[in-house]
């Protein structure tokens, strides 16, 4: 069953009437203008960089009301505001419907798993209002708000086997190209607002490239280059340049049908015997500024919410401390924002953060680093995810206890650029080698992959000392390679590693 709601050409209210709908009806609002939106188009980058805040449309004293300025009334709906977020999403459907057996297959798959749909939709309640607001502000189809159902089941901490992360599943390189910071202290691919901004920027870019939302979605999943080449092949063969006619991987072939299936279920849930949770049409969260570094656990406690709920709204913070210079605001449930601000004020003069950052001055073992910062080695390893037998490279930033000379907030430069680089710890093993006729320290050193200076030092010889055939000398080699070092090998052993298998995962963006 494919549902076509016929709302592609509904008029939208202009910015001249961003007031309560009933007031407009009573006063007539002679200045109201109506614009046609038959084909939502990408907006300018300037507009994308200056979004209105949700708080601007909310009366903080009485709580967040329904935003009538974003309604899309038609002959059947009149000026009635959306009853909930699902109703608001339905009103903004603007993509052509996709039909066919793949859509029906996915409809049946989702409809046969009501518990799965319930978990996904419940998880989405924190984020849907913000996403719909952004889509409407950009004049984009609101069914795109359902895309995280397909990408991550609305889990902002999801990580794929191909290393795509977050609710919108950005690969590291694509995330960087859309200004999503990824460093030791945060990963904006998981950030609720930043990842949404980047995803919609990317989708607008793809729509501008292909002029078709189905092709734009295929490119979001498969990569714009792959879709471009597939279209070129179809053109050369005289085939239609449509999504359904492209030769593509199965994952991409099912991608838009999945979104269409979810759209159909959201449009008429009763037809699929699906029950959607009530998600009211008002902001779930509010942004609260912070001026000092603060522990994540303390921030949750001051907001009087659970740690899990706090992390669900602030999933980009991957360390136990929030750095004000890098993340100057946090998200809290609407009613808890005032609670946090009041409790934070009462906490004035008390310590907010028990962690700070420290830069390793040289390459060292974790035990040495722990000694320098006066911190138990187990805690240092745990806080920084340092595996056994690894060394910390010079210039790496470590999260350490905040005390003594290290009792400072982290600087903006460190918060934005901190990285941790590790190197395998080399454990050397002594072996004996035999000199052959004509050998020198230099030739022996080259044969075993060490330096002549080290050979001379280990054997207490001058670097140009003459060697006798049959003379035994000591050589120190990495213990894992000791059994592979031949005593009379003509060349040094290979130190290469077997190349990893070619990834079979999607070439995701």
CA gap 472, 455 in Å, rounded: 12
Higher-scoring residue by pLDDT: 76, 165: 165
Question: Looking at the predicted structure, is the pLDDT value of residue 318 above 90?
Answer: no
Q: What is the mean pLDDT of residues 354-364?
A: 95
Question: Looking at the predicted structure, is the pLDDT value of residue 36 above 60?
Answer: no
Q: What is the mean pLDDT of residues 16-36?
A: 36
CA gap 67, 86 in Å, rounded: 14
What residues form DSSP beta bridges with 432? 474
* Alpha-carbon torsion (75, 81, 87, 93), positive or negative: positive
Quick one: pLDDT band at residue 389, thresholds 50, 70, 90? Answer: confident
Q: What is the pLDDT of residues 114-153, one digit of tens each?
A: 999 999 999 999 999 999 999 999 999 999 999 999 999 9
Q: What is the pLDDT of residues 455-504, one digit of tens each?
A: 998 999 998 899 999 999 999 887 754 344 444 333 333 333 333 333 33
The two three-digit tokens of residue 173, written as one number: 């390189």
Quick one: pLDDT band at residue 351, thresholds 50, 70, 90? Answer: very high
Q: What is the mean pLDDT of residues 154-180?
A: 96
411 and 326 in contact (C-beta within 8 Å)?
no
Please name each of the domains of the chain with its CATH number: 12-272 (no CATH), 285-346 (no CATH), 355-424 (3.10.350), 428-484 (3.10.350.10)
Q: What is the mean pLDDT of residues 287-309?
A: 97
Mean pLDDT of the chain: 83
438 and 414 in contact (C-beta within 8 Å)?
no
Helix (H, G, I), strand (E, B) or coil at 429: strand
What are the helix and strand counts (H, E) for the chain?
20, 12
Residue 151 annotated as catalytic: yes
Q: What is the mean pLDDT of residues 46-50?
A: 37
CA 2 to chain centre: 32
365-387 in b/e burial notation, b at 16+ Cβ within 10 A?
A: ebeebbeebebeeeebbebbebe
Read off φ and ψ for residue 472, nearest 5 degrees: -90, 140
DSSP state of 170: B
pLDDT at 509: 52
Question: Looking at the predicted structure, is the pLDDT value of residue 4 above 60?
Answer: no
Least-confidence region, from 73-82, 92-101, 103-112, 451-460:
73-82
Read off φ and ψ for residue 226, nearest 5 degrees: -65, -45
Closest-CA residue to 254 (of 509, 506, 32, 1): 506
CA angle 497, 501, 506 (to 5 degrees): 140
Quick one: pLDDT band at residue 21, thresholds 50, 70, 90? Answer: very low
The answer for residues whose C-beta is within 8 angstroms of residue 330's C-beta and 6 or more apart is 287, 288, 290, 299, 313, 314, 322
pLDDT at 309: 97
| pLDDT above 70 as % of the chain | 79
240 and 234 in contact (C-beta within 8 Å)?
yes
Residue with tokens 């979104």: 259
Question: Looking at the predicted structure, is the pLDDT value of residue 412 above 80?
Answer: yes
DSSP state of 165: B
Which of 54, 133, 134, 151 is flagged as catalytic?
Answer: 151
| pLDDT above 90 as % of the chain | 70
Which segments of 112-223 does DSSP mark as H helices, in order? 114-124, 128-137, 147-152, 172-177, 192-210, 213-222
DSSP state of 365: -
Q: Which pairing describes strands 294-295 and 321-322: parallel, antiparallel, or unpaired?
A: antiparallel
DSSP state of 330: E
Q: What is the mean pLDDT of residues 405-430?
A: 90
């Amino acid at each position: 069953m494919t549902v076509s709601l016929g709302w592609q050409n509904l008029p939208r209210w202009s910015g001249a009437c961003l007031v309560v709908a009933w007031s407009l009806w009573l006063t007539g609002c002679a200045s109201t203008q109506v614009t046609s939106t038959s084909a939502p188009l990408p907006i300018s980058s300037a507009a994308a960089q200056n979004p209105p805040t949700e708080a601007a449309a909310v009366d903080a004293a009485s709580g967040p009301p329904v935003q009538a300025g974003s309604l899309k009334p038609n002959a059947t709906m009149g000026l009635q505001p959306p009853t909930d977020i699902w109703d608001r999403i339905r009103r903004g459907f603007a993509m052509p419907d996709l039909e066919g057996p793949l859509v029906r297959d996915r409809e049946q798959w989702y409809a046969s798993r009501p518990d799965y749909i319930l978990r996904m939709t419940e998880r989405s309640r924190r984020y849907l209002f913000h996403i719909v607001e952004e889509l409407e502000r950009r004049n984009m189809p609101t069914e795109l708000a359902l895309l995280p159902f397909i990408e991550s089941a609305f889990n902002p901490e999801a990580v794929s086997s191909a290393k795509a992360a977050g609710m919108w599943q950005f690969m590291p390189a694509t995330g960087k190209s859309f200004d999503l910071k990824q460093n030791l202290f945060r990963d904006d691919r998981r950030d609720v607002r930043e990842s949404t901004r980047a995803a919609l920027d990317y989708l607008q870019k793809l729509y501008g490239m292909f002029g078709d939302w189905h092709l734009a979605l295929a490119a979001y999943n498969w990569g714009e280059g792959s879709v471009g080449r597939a279209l070129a092949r179809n053109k050369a063969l005289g085939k239609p340049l449509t999504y359904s006619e492209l030769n593509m991987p199965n994952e991409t072939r099912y991608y838009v049908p999945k979104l269409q299936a979810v759209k159909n279920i959201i449009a008429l849930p009763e037809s699929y015997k699906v029950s959607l949770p009530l998600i009211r049409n008002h902001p779930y969260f509010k942004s609260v500024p912070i001026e000092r570094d603060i522990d994540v656990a303390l921030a949750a406690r001051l907001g009087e919410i659970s740690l899990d709920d706090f992390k669900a709204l602030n999933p980009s913070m991957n360390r136990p401390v929030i750095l004000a210079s890098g993340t100057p605001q946090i998200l809290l449930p609407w009613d808890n924002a005032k609670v946090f601000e009041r409790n934070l004020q009462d906490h004035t003069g008390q310590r907010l953060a028990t962690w700070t950052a420290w830069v390793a001055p040289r390459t060292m073992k974790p035990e040495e680093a722990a000694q320098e910062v006066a911190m138990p080695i187990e805690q240092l390893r745990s806080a920084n995810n340092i595996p056994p037998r690894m060394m910390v490279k010079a210039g790496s930033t470590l999260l350490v206890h905040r005390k003594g000379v290290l009792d400072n907030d982290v600087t903006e430069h460190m918060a934005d650029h901190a990285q941790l680089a590790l190197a395998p710890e080399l454990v050397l093993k002594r072996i004996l080698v035999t000199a052959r006729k004509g050998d020198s320290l230099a030739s022996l050193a080259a044969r075993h992959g060490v330096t002549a200076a080290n050979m001379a030092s280990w054997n207490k010889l001058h670097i140009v000392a003459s060697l006798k055939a049959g003379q035994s000398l000591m050589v120190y080699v990495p213990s894992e390679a000791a059994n592979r070092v031949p005593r009379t090998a003509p060349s040094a052993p290979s130190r290469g590693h077997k190349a990893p298998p070619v990834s079979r995962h999607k070439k995701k963006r």
